[in-house]
A and B are shown apart, each in its own frame.
Chain A
Amino acid sequence: MKNKLLSLLCVSTMAVSLFTGCGSGQAAGGRETADQDGGKQEPEENTGGKESQEQALVTLKTVSMFGGTDPNAEAYQTINEELMAENDYITIEDNSQTSDEDWKAAVAADFSVGNEPDVLQFFTDATADSIVATDKLVSVEEIRAEYPAYAQDTLEAALAASANTDGVSRAVPTTGYWEGLYCNKDLFDKYNIELPTDWTSLETAIRTFQENDIIPIAVSLNNVPHYWIEFLMLYTAGEEGYTSIPKTAPAEWVKALELFKTLRDMGAFPEDTDTVDDAYAGQLFRDKKAAMQLDGSWYAGQIEDMEGTVVIAFPGVPDQQADAASMIGGVSSGFYITRKAWEDPDKRDAAVKFVMAHTSQAGVQRYWEATGAVAQAATQVNPVDGATPFAESIAAYTSSASLMVAPTDARIGDAYKTLVAQIVKVSTGAMTAEEAIDLALEKYAEQYGE
């Protein structure tokens, strides 16, 4: 009898523990979801579209790359909380993570099995091609037909820049990015060197720093040579040649990548550039062991010496085809509304409200300030007070850019990684630049069936 009682107790405990997971879920903010409550409440405000009558409780499933250690994460969460406070019928179930390959794969997997979120903050370039092909994302034009105020604060240029590769605008962006040459100006002053403005002055700077045991350029060719690939190709091939997608390696691209070997032979890179990672290369620059580093606007947040560091335009290459001060940059991500949310009468309005809260002038101002007020904002932004010499140099650089063009990976997607993986070999002469480019173009043709 005692054993039977014990068995009964064990079985009932197990059953209780199993069913615990099936209980009522608590969403973000600790409020009960609409489905469980079933009640109806009045929305507090409208989105400029249809007049809302009785508004059902709505649970929005959202996914973004503003999670984890991303500098935008705090602003993103704050806007979400404010949106829920202002619209108590909306509950946000957010699943944000920092962007990496696993995260991209998880997003793709959700789209493949019909488990896509209601609102997605994702890439807009070739990275999004496979998701765009599912036809599960609603275009801005379609949304504006019902909600004319949708993305009204967003600059038209930013909206156009964030169009997908098929030319259709589906995402509403917050901030963009730029890439530029970070210089330890104090080192330039110490060794009496002018900041480089062309290839000749870049060569002079490299030689002088090398003679003084300073690493001229901090870069990890094994990990992140991307910025150098981009600027060398843009300046050597010019805008038209750079933005084309050729079948085989064009002479200008080959000439551009051959400069890796030229720079390496000059001693421009760290001795261990083939093995160190990007974080280590960045540390060399910030520790003043290296004089220059080509990087993106996201790197600005790591700069501590705001007085002795400046950002300038890429100096140039021999016989360059691009205008001076041409810049790599653009907008590569934004907020999408999925067809699943759009076709759900209860969720449509909430999804629009969500995107508008994040992409309005006030929302973008927050993201812009959260990333150091140095990125390209997708709306008008109010300048922050007390700009440092570092921030001033960025403002001068970005405002004087003669051209802004998106990097190669925005056009050829994953095939670009094949090119990046060969740069160490190209820089040592173990592989020709032509072979490396052809490998990447072959991969592109396979991927896009051309």
Chain B
Amino acid sequence: MLYKKKWPALLFVLPGLLFLLIFLYLPFLENIRNSLYNMKAVVELPGSAWKFIGLKNYRRLLWDPDLRTAIGNTLKMMALTVVFEVGFAFVLAVLVSNVKRLQQAFRTVYFFPVVISATAIGLMFKLFYNYNGGMLNQLLNAVGKEPVNWLSPARAFGMVAVPILWSYIGFYFVILLTGLSDISEDIYEAASIDGCGRGRQVFYITLPMMKPVFATCVTLAVTGALKVFDLPWVIVPNGAPQGLTHFLGTYMYQQTFGLNDYDYGSALAFMIVVMGVVAAGVVGFFTREREV
């Protein structure tokens, strides 16, 4: 028992709790309620009562083809973030941890995209991809090639995924590099004396000892993929072309604020929360330390 009086602790916790209650839990419950009504406007105005429609919006979730595309893209993005963001960040972290000089400079360079606003990155890539006078087509033009529609239905998802993955590699790089620095040099030295080469050290020492850090990174990457919104919205708004680049976040936003379908947007928001909880649980299950 650290403190006899509990009320000072409660007093300090109370503002935070109230804040969460008012701005997170109550709106969340309100959102669930809204998804069960036919909302005619964003607020219920006198003279236009909302009609109770039960689970109609949830049934619609099952048959919505654009939602299927959005879920598919989100799942693909989850896999891509694990492989390319965490994977590539790990390769970079291992390489940089072995560099004696300019390590700080490498850290700064790789982390830099994380601090740039997603809107700025989105606009930059939008200018790269422009069909008329975009940077990539200017380069093609310079070598005598025909311009390419970089955001055509066949290419759009890949073109949107590239900046999303690129912009967050630095985030995982820093986490993994910090994890690497926690592994004692003595272990590597002992392995070297026993004749273990650099490559084998990565597989037999680094990877096993980094497991908790990987678990954190994978959880962040998977749940982060559920929140992808700003970059695709800037590069290809409304899931262009033909809704093929919709993610859960962009689809929910389009339905709610683009088409003013507030009740369906509320159902989508609730589904995203459920998916987030499930995804975090699944990742937690696979990355949990098991007793032998």
Contact = CB atoms under 8 A, between A and B. Distances in A.
Given A130-B41, A428-B242, A223 B260 contact: no
A414 interface: yes
Given A112-B46, A414-B260, A277 B237 contact: yes
Nearest to A274: B241
A284 interface: yes
B131 A271 contact: yes
Given A222-B241, A223-B237, A275-B236, A270 B43 contact: no
Contacts of B97: none
A210 interface: no
A130 B242 contact: no
B242 A430 contact: yes
Contacts of A275: 151, 156, 236, 240-241
A421 B254 contact: yes
Interface in B159-214: none
Interface stretch (A24-32, A103-111, A195-203): A103-111
Interface in B43-77: 43-48, 51
Given A109-B42, A270-B131, A275-B240, A133 B47 contact: yes
B103 to A, nearest CB: 41
Contact of A135 (B44, B47, B156, B236): B47
A23 B48 CA distance: 38
A44 interface: no
Contacts of A129: 48
Contacts of B131: 270-272, 276
B132 A134 contact: no
A284 B156 CA distance: 22
A284 B133 CA distance: 11
B238 interface: yes
Contact of A130 (B48, B149, B236, B241): B48
A425 interface: yes
Contacts of B242: 274, 424-425, 428, 430
Q: Which of A271, A275, A289, A447 has the most CB of B within 10 A?
A: A275
B223 interface: no
B52 to A, nearest CB: 13
B216 interface: no
Contacts of A105: 41-43
B40 interface: yes
Interface string A265-285: 000001110111100100010
A167 interface: no
Interface string B237-262: 11011110000000000100111110
9 contacts: A101-B260, A108-B43, A112-B44, A133-B47, A134-B46, A136-B46, A274-B240, A425-B242, A446-B38
Interface of A: 101, 105, 108-109, 111-113, 129-131, 133-136, 222-223, 270-272, 274-277, 280, 284, 289, 414, 417-418, 421, 424-425, 428, 430, 443, 446-447, 449
Given A223-B238, A272-B131, 10 more contacts: A108-B45, A112-B43, A112-B46, A271-B149, A274-B153, A276-B131, A284-B132, A414-B261, A421-B254, A447-B40
